[in-house]
Amino acid sequence: MSVYDLLLGKPLATSEERAEHIGVAAGIPIFGLDGLTSAAYGPEAALTLLIPLGIGSVEYGWRIISAILVLLTIVYFSYRQTIAAYPNGGGSYTVATENLGERAGLLAAAALMIDYILTAAVGISAGVTALTSAAPRLQPYTLEICLMILVLLAIINMRGVKDTGAAFIAPTFLFVGTLLTLIGVGFYKTIQAGGHPVAVHAMPAVLPASVGTLGLWLLLKAFASGCAAMTGVEAVSNGVMAFGEPRAKNAQRTLTIIIGILMVLLFGIAYLAKTYQVMPMQPEAAGYQSLLSLLVTAVFGRGWFYYLTMGTVLLALALSANTAFADFPRLTRAIAQHDFLPHVFILRGRRLLFSHGIYALTGFTAIILILFRGITDRLIPLYAIGAFMAFTLSQAGMVVHWRKEDKSHAGRVWHMVVNGIGAVATGITLVIVLVAKFVAGAWVTALLVPFLILIMIGVKKHYERVQAEMAEPRPMKMANLEAPVVVIPMARWDAITEKALRFGLLLSKEIKVVHIHSDDAESADSGLEDVWEHMVATPIRDAGATMPELVTIPSTFRYIISPLMDYILKLEGSHPGRKIAVLLPEMVVQHWWENALHNQRVQVLKLLLLLKGNQRIVVVNIPWYL
């Protein structure tokens, strides 16, 4: 156990739950890393599409990012309200289910699950891709490094929410710190230079415009791509339960800080790109650098600060998958509580976490990483969809929530308007993203969502059937308590079968010892009939106990199992209402490999009795320890 303790921490008692609740300082790295790191690729995703505009793109990019900032503000206010309204964890799933109905809830659930799995896969893979492009020698090990980071994240998260927060504070603050420094210094230099700073290093030549005017379609596509900068902001609302009291206040504060920093970062990056006249490079261009790399070079040159910034960006990206680890298990737990997922997701593990959610996320992420061999660029379009579907459903749900609210509630209409604007804005964005990215892969999400919903409905149906059979607990029935008919398959008489027969005598007065007689001279099965009289019948007669019946069944084709099964099922048919107890002696060996040495008929028989049996057939394992 000590290896476990060392790796995962000592088990926590259920009463220690309160101590595991986190504050704002831990909340920011846990729930914010994914949202904050979006700043590292969101603006570039938008600006890349504008390259055909030439130098004009800098100006348009600035406007698109401003539009995203407005949308972000709307989303911020509506999530703030959601947290206040659902202090017990107001994830999109809960909000949609409670206000828009089960189907909408399932839609949100499926979208969010896909979103989180993709967040984990894309986050890790983006970090590792950045690493391997810096150190090409590591390229062949891309997948291995990805999986290592995945396992590391899983282990850290298994240690519980407190330890996770502690582990991620440093990388998060380093990431935010270096980017804020970049923005601050760039801003200062811009002002110093009267609005037209000169880059420390020469920037790549700006490509001439290849299109004259900006089409609406291009604008929308750029906006849709830039919305990747907003993924991850729903994380806090899904994880409110992790915070200590005052829970809602703490969560709101965390959300405010995260979105505040994110807006500063987005604004700063867009502003510097504009004043330094930096355009993103085509990813397939020779000597490609990311927009962030170009900006740091422009403001600081290629000194130690450049390498520090790029290093922390890379680290933060790789660790941004952690947000998925924080939210996915809480989400699956909420879904399982509504019977739409297996109940194991409700169980809390040794560190009070919903460990099966962590296992599931790790498993699915590993599958995706392995399928795509650690290179998941193509998945990026998929995952903004999940996020925006969840945004929209949650905002729409909040509108209904406020409408149902008591009319006297202060600010009810105002709340409704904020969430309504949020719903419409994110809904429009969702449609834009879907249309713009459908061919690029969004169709995969469009297929996966209904598939997941079908699975969840199947699970629910199953639990409902179980529930129906259990129905109301009723007092125990004491009628018809009759001893079972005991069946003991017996190949030969030895210490093992003696043990089984002794147990059978305790169970019932009606015992059938079934001997399958194969007329195969080489089999070791024969001889029971010869010893039965003096080994078994005489002692039992002497003791005055009821005599078991020896049933010998010939087997022409040397089958053992099927005549036995036939006999048991026939016996069950001819004793309606009686229980049939089948006693199966089982050899328990010391080493696993010794299992190969005893023929596995008992296991096959057990399985068949379970599959073909019914309520009245009971299997009793009589273990024999060597």
Cβ-based burial of 490 (10 A; exposed 0-12, middle 13-18, buried ≥19) = buried
Q: Which of 520, 529, 549, 566 binds its own copies (CB under 8 A)?
A: 520
* Residue number, 395 or 518, with CB nearest to its own copies: 518
Per CB under 8 A, contacts with its own copies among 549-588 are 556-559, 579, 581, 586-588
Supply the DSSP string of 214-260, one letter for each residue: --HHHHHHHHHHHGGGGTTTTHHHHTGGGBPSSHHHHHHHHHHHHHH
Q: What is the residue type of 127?
A: G
> Is 408 among the residues that bind its own copies (CB under 8 A)?
no
Smallest gap from residue 351 Cβ to its own copies (A):
10
Residues 142 to 201: which contact its own copies by CB under 8 A? none
CA distance 231 to 98: 24
Distance in Å, CB of 383 to its own copies, minimum: 26
Task: Decide whether 410 or 471 has the Cβ nearer to its own copies.
Answer: 471
Which of residues 518, 564, 580, 602 is near its own copies by CB under 8 A? 518
CB 622 within 8 A of CB 583: yes
DSSP state of 148: H
Residue with tokens 């992420």: 365
User: What tokens appear for 231 in the block?
Assistant: 């993924």
* Nearest residue (CB) to its own copies, 540 versus 569: 540
Q: Residue 120's closest CA among 214, 20, 236, 37?
A: 37
Cα(127)–Cα(317) distance, integer angstroms: 5
Binding-site member from 117, 281, 536, 571 for its own copies (CB under 8 A): 536
Which residue in the block uniquely carries the two structure tokens 């170009």?
A: 294
Out of 62, 141, 271, 503, name the contact with its own copies by CB under 8 A. Answer: 503
The set of residues, in sequence order, having a beta carbon less than 8 Å from that of 599 and lying 6+ positions away, is: none
245 forms part of the interface with its own copies (CB under 8 A): no
Using the contact rule CB under 8 A, the part of the chain among 55-63, 287-295, 441-449, 476-484 near its own copies is 476-484
Question: Nearest approach, Cβ of 574 to its own copies (angstroms)?
Answer: 20
For 342, the 3-state DSSP assignment is coil
Q: Where are the alpha helices (DSSP H) in 471-581?
A: 495-507, 528-531, 538-543, 561-574
The nearest distance, CB 336 to its own copies, in angstroms, is 10
3-state secondary structure at position 380: helix
Of 316-375, which residues contact its own copies (CB under 8 A)?
Answer: 342-344, 346-350
Phi-psi category of residue 424: left, alpha or beta, with phi > 0 → left and psi -120 to 50 → alpha: alpha
For residues 409 and 502, which CB has a smaller minimum distance to its own copies in the complex? 502
Q: By CB under 8 A, which span of 137-145, 277-285, 301-309, 607-615 interacts with its own copies?
A: 607-615
Q: Which is closer to its own copies, CB of 16 or CB of 377?
A: 16
Q: How far apart are CA 405 and CA 399, in angstroms?
A: 10
Q: How far is the CB of 622 from its own copies (least distance, A)?
A: 6
Please identify, using beta-carbon distances, which residue of 437 and 579 lies nearer to its own copies.
579
Q: Tell the smallest beta-carbon distance from residue 506 to its own copies (Å).
A: 6
Nearest distance from C-beta of residue 43 to its own copies, angstroms: 42
Nearer Cβ to its own copies (3/506):
506
Q: Is 120 in the site for its own copies (CB under 8 A)?
A: no
Number of residues engaging its own copies in binding (CB under 8 A): 91
**Smallest Cα–Cα separation from 620: which of 567, 588, 580, 570?**
580
